[in-house]
Structure 1
Amino acid sequence: MAVKEELRLGAKASKNSTIVLVFLAAIKGTVGFYSGSSSLIADAIHTSMDIFTSLAVWVGLKLSLKSSGEHFPYGYYKAENLVALFVSLLIILSGVELVREALSTIRAPSEIEFQELALGAAVFSVITIYALSQYKFKIGRQIGSQALIADATHSYTDVFSSMVVVVAIIGSMFGMPWIDSLGVLVISVVIFKLGISTAKESALTLMDAWLDRESIESIRHSVKQIPGVNKVDDIRLRRSGLVVFGEMQVESAGECDLKRVEMLSVEIEEVVKSEIPNLEHISVDIKPGKISVLKVAIPIIKPEGLQSKLSRHIGKAPYYIIIQLEDNKIIDWEIGENPAADLERKRGVKTAEYLQEHGVNIVIIKDIGEGPFHKFHDSFIKLLDMPDDVEDVETLIGKIPELSAITAPTE
């Protein structure tokens, strides 16, 4: 589901919640007034506060739908986190209000008229608010809305306050109006805990904290498996409302052109999106890897060591000498038979695969077709042009710093 669609779904849920709360507050207020139930009236006032909370969430989600402008290049997504923080503060205030109600009930318990009607309204309130909280939890988790989840949590705590009203009315019916006071004090502790937890999460999100270290390590591991990525230097993610923005620095396995950098960036973004579904954008900085020891492959006619004569054909060359260079000095070399030399088709591609398996960084050749060229290119193997006036390997090695790169197929 697209982010805009998720925001619209969340805004619709908040709107529906507001309508239900208006209806519920009216019922509890009316019944509380005629029955003389002070706890039911107080609960109606409490529900009226929730109306403003749902409205605040609706406003926050609607603001998040606005397109980014000059002053808000990253959009208005964090309006949702601001609202979540505001709602969490209301949750804490609700806990304070419940404590105040409990203390006042202990000091001045009241008798209730029309007790059955008041009890019915209180029970209806419990059922309705519970259903409403589950509805908002479902939508909030579905779209990843911190504000809607916070509002659902707030509604869930209201279920307990409404149950306190039920207990108070039942206690009044049995001549024990003080029972609800103890319950309110216990519930207020739960409300404080929920409010502080939600406030902490909202504040950390607003400060661009990223607490899911497992996702970072999973992304790092997956990106390192992409061909052409040498290592992952840094990953930075931050949540903004429903979406996530990111930055990443990676080191490529050797040099690569702009087209390959773009392709690699797309592959990395797809990997990150598989881990973070709500990823809005990630900026990937690709730096060429530093290779201390180079492995240079050169096609030769006969295995005669560094005096071997050069072959001008990539696929038809019967042998390849692979030389390890450090600071342009030979530290080791080996000669291997080209397994693709006698093939009738795709000799160049099979030769490229053979050299890739040997971990070659550079191949010096004269002519190359489209198939093997792209095979080398996609494997981050640099191609150098073999000069016409050089006949043996040792002389060619001395000229490597002067050789030009092959950037396109030559045949």
Structure 2
Amino acid sequence: MQLPQFLQDFLKKGPAGAKKGLDAVATTSERGIWALKWSFIMLAITSALQVIVFFFSGSTALLADTIHNVADAATAIPLWIAFRYTNRAPTKRFTYGYGRIEDLAGVIILLIILASGIVAGYESIQRFYHPEPVKYLWAVAAASVVGFIGNEAVAIFRIKVGKEIGSAALIADGYHARTDGIASLSVLLGVIGIWLGFPLADPIIGLIISFVIMKIVWRSGKDIFTRLLDGVDPAVVDEVRASAAKVPGVLGVDRVRLRWLGHKLNAEVDVAVADTMNVGQAHELGEQVVAQLRQDVQYLTTALVHTDAASAAAHQHA
């Protein structure tokens, strides 16, 4: 789905996009906070409209969708806190800084989504045993369309900014909002079912939405916990290796270690250099490798390059 032109122009505003190097942390954090603020406002408005319609209609499917949208809006709070802490300087106790808080915020988001799925599923099952008539079908249908539009706009917003700043938590939250939009649109199917004389369509759709929520938890959970365990995309490792290898004077790239700290990527690279190089020359070459890595690798903020004489590197590799 493409956003209208005025919304596309809006996405280009706000804090600048992601930069490379050490100055990227504050800039990307501010952009993440900016995205969270506006997506929270959009989802709050969407949820408020749906709450009003549910109060008068009594639709279980709409209730499940509303609970999900409220939970989605609430996920902005732990992410906002995480982005704020990311800007803090490292300390003697937390020598790597506070970037890992963003990953912990992702875990909190998963728990919020999980809780919303359980509540929505419980309410849907209750309606099977205690059915109630759904009123104002036209309003429920309108609320489902509003929910879809609001969530899809937020999804595009969060995913775009999340990819710009390299935030797995914000990207996961964006895909969560996209699935919310599909769930909102499915409420319309419940309305059609009731209109055709099948009242159980409403709790059935509510139950389906609950299963969709659980699927989101599983998919997003894999990404979040991969980062918590210092997992990275193998393609990024290959990118780092290729970038270091093309620096003149580098005879080989041995060990490459990467880790995400929130939306910051840290690298440790061992390179082999000529045996004839003195300490000063090896150090200068290491600085060239760092500069090349920052130029080629997106989201990289810190790189530690260790140089070994080619003969020693070959012995260690063996």
* 1:320 aligned residue: none
1:88–1:150 Cα contact (<8 Å) kept: no
Deviation at 1:185, TM superposition (A): 4.3
Select 2:48's aligned residue among 16, 21, 26.
Answer: 26
* 2:281 aligned residue: 260
Deviation at 1:253, TM superposition (A): 0.8
Structure 1 segment 7-406 matched on structure 2, within 5 A: 7-210=29-232, 212-290=233-311
State the SS of the aligned residue for 2:81.
helix
In the alignment, residue 28 of structure 1 is paired with which amino acid? Q
Distance in 1 separating the partners of 2:150 and 2:195: 23
Q: Which has the larger radius of gyration?
A: 1
Equivalent pairs counted in the alignment come to: 290
Quickly say closer, same or farther: Cα 1:187–1:28, change in 2 above 3 A.
closer
* 1:387 aligned residue: none
State the SS of the aligned residue for 1:229.
coil
TM-score with structure 1 setting the length: 0.64
In the alignment, residue 290 of structure 1 is paired with which amino acid? S
Normalized per residue, the structure richer in helix is 2
TM-score with structure 2 setting the length: 0.81
Distance in 1 separating the partners of 2:61 and 2:245: 61
1:92–1:196 Cα contact (<8 Å) kept: no
* 2:9 aligned residue: none
Quickly say closer, same or farther: Cα 1:231–1:143, change in 2 above 3 A.
same
Quickly say closer, same or farther: Cα 1:280–1:70, change in 2 above 3 A.
same
In the alignment, residue 256 of structure 1 is paired with which amino acid? M
1:99–1:185 Cα contact (<8 Å) kept: yes
1:40–1:165 Cα contact (<8 Å) kept: yes
Gaps of 5+ in 1: 292-411
Deviation at 1:67, TM superposition (A): 2.4
State the SS of the aligned residue for 2:254.
strand
Q: Which one is further off, 197-206 or 168-177?
A: 168-177
State the SS of the aligned residue for 1:236.
strand
Distance in 1 separating the partners of 2:164 and 2:126: 41
In the alignment, residue 103 of structure 2 is paired with which amino acid? N
Deviation at 1:274, TM superposition (A): 4.0
In the alignment, residue 43 of structure 2 is paired with which amino acid? L
Distance in 2 separating the partners of 1:203 and 1:91: 15
Distance in 2 separating the partners of 1:22 and 1:86: 19
In the alignment, residue 262 of structure 2 is paired with which amino acid? G
Gaps of 5+ in 2: 1-18, 313-318
Distance in 2 separating the partners of 1:45 and 1:192: 14
* 1:391 aligned residue: none
1:230–1:289 Cα contact (<8 Å) kept: yes
Normalized per residue, the structure richer in strand is 1
Distance in 1 separating the partners of 2:211 and 2:49: 28
Q: CA RMSD in A?
A: 2.4
| Higher RCO (CA 8 Å, separation ≥ 6 residues) | 2
Map Cα deviations across residues 190-245 of structure 1 (whole Å, 9 max, x no partner).
433332222122122112123x2233234334433433223222111111111111
Deviation at 1:286, TM superposition (A): 1.2
In the alignment, residue 216 of structure 2 is paired with which amino acid? L
Distance in 2 separating the partners of 1:156 and 1:33: 25
